[in-house]
Structure 1
Amino acid sequence: MEQIHLFPYDPAWPNIYRTEEALVRSCLIRPPLLIEHMGSTAVPGLAAKPIVDIIVLVDELEHGRAAIPALETTGYSYWSANPDTTKLYLVKGLPPAPRRTHHLHIYHHAGEVARHLLFRDHLRANPEAVKAYLALKQDLATRFRDDREAYSKHKTAFIDALVLSLGGPPRRTDWNP
């Protein structure tokens, strides 16, 4: 079981993202419509699990699916049984590696990507929102240290509420690629 540990913001995370972005781009069959650094490691000053999240928007999900074999040769593992049917999800750093290092989220629905980037950009521009989110994450990491699903579920509720309050779209749960 993988425990949840938050680490202070590391100024190396943007460079780690840029290096990985180039690698991911080289594996994609067609150029993505967008590729961005998202999640807590993309917000200066925010403590995080040291896992760099990358979000990719493709024009057709099949173009993302076609890149899976190349991505797997670079150390990514594709989660084919992912219950979230709104995206393709790959992880770098599964056992026997010592820890996860990257999460790759591939979407073809622009609204889902916009939600994530709206949240990231709001945090980047609002120190008070960063403080509130950090306090929540610290509390959840303490309460759910050994339960990644509960930790993520509670964070998602916060994110969804904030995105809606900013006028962003609701999270799609009905979309099936």
Structure 2
Amino acid sequence: MPAAVISSYDPAWPARAERLLTEVRTALASLPGSERFVHEHIGSTAVPGLGAKPIVDLQVRMPVLPPLAELAEALAPTPFVPAHGSRPDSPGVHRDAGRPGDQAEPDAYEKRLFHIPAGSAILHVRRTDSPFARFVVDFRDWLRAHPEETRRYEQVKRRLADEHAGASDYDDYTRAKTAFFDEVQPRLREWSVRRAAGS
């Protein structure tokens, strides 16, 4: 996995994400309860105008996570295969880290991670009640609603990408972005609560 390289926003990213989500939705339709799955384009490529690694992030939320082998079999018609991370401690491969203020049982952070080996897309499969699944959607929507924060986040990402340019992977880059998440989280949570209340 190469070091992080931030590209200018590409208007083709949402269309690519939708095509892949259609493939994933079709493949997972054979699983019990698939009508309750939520399929989403997340991450920086889902925020108009935001520079990002040119890798589309997708998310599927489902009430119960099937075993990895069962999911891999269902996704076999798609280009996605299980991802194992660059290192044994690569973040976000088998589970997500809790965010400050989260109140959830540890099992809620369990996940399944898939990718396209060519490096063009990542698929995160999380439980419906995963606080991190909710966080990534709220963060995406908050950035969409706050262009000034989108610009600031891109500056942070470009700085971190430069700092970690010599790395053989972008695990440390991923971890370093947590400082930005921690900084904005109080405002993000307040905005999310207001939005849910319709105010």
Task: Tell me which of 41, 48, 53 is aligned to 1:49.
Answer: 53
Matches of 1:21 and 1:64 in 2, distance apart? 19
**Deviation >6 Å, runs of 4+:** none
Query: Whose radius of gyration is greater, 1 or 2?
Result: 2
Conservation of the 8 A alpha-carbon contact between 1:24 and 1:71: yes
Where in structure 1 are there 5+ consecutive unaligned residues? 169-177
The one-letter amino acid of 2:145's match is A
1:17 aligns with 2:17: yes
Matches within 5 A, 1:51-90: 51-62=55-66, 66-79=70-83, 82-84=93-95, 86-90=110-114
Q: TM-score, normalised by structure 1?
A: 0.82
Indicate the RMSD between aligned Cα atoms, in angstroms: 2.1
CA separation of 1:32 and 1:101: change in aligned 2, threshold 3 A:
farther
Secondary structure (helix, strand or coil) at the match of 1:61 reads: coil
Write the deviation string for residues 31-65 of structure 1: whole angstroms up to 9, x where unpaired: 34311111000000001111110011101112776
| Higher deviation after alignment, 156-165 or 110-119 | 156-165
Matches within 5 A, 1:1-177: 2-28=2-28, 29=31, 30-62=34-66, 66-79=70-83, 82-84=93-95, 86-92=110-116, 94=117, 97=118, 100-108=119-127, 109-145=129-165, 146=167, 147-167=169-189
Write the deviation string for residues 85-136 of structure 1: whole angstroms up to 9, x where unpaired: 62111111x2xx4xx0111001113422210111000100101101110110
Q: How many residues align?
A: 163
Shift of 1:17: 0.8
Conservation of the 8 A alpha-carbon contact between 1:88 and 1:105: yes
Matches of 1:123 and 1:16 in 2, distance apart? 20
Secondary structure (helix, strand or coil) at the match of 1:36 reads: strand
Shift of 1:83: 4.4
Q: TM-score, normalised by structure 2?
A: 0.74
Secondary structure (helix, strand or coil) at the match of 1:67 reads: helix
Shift of 1:76: 1.5
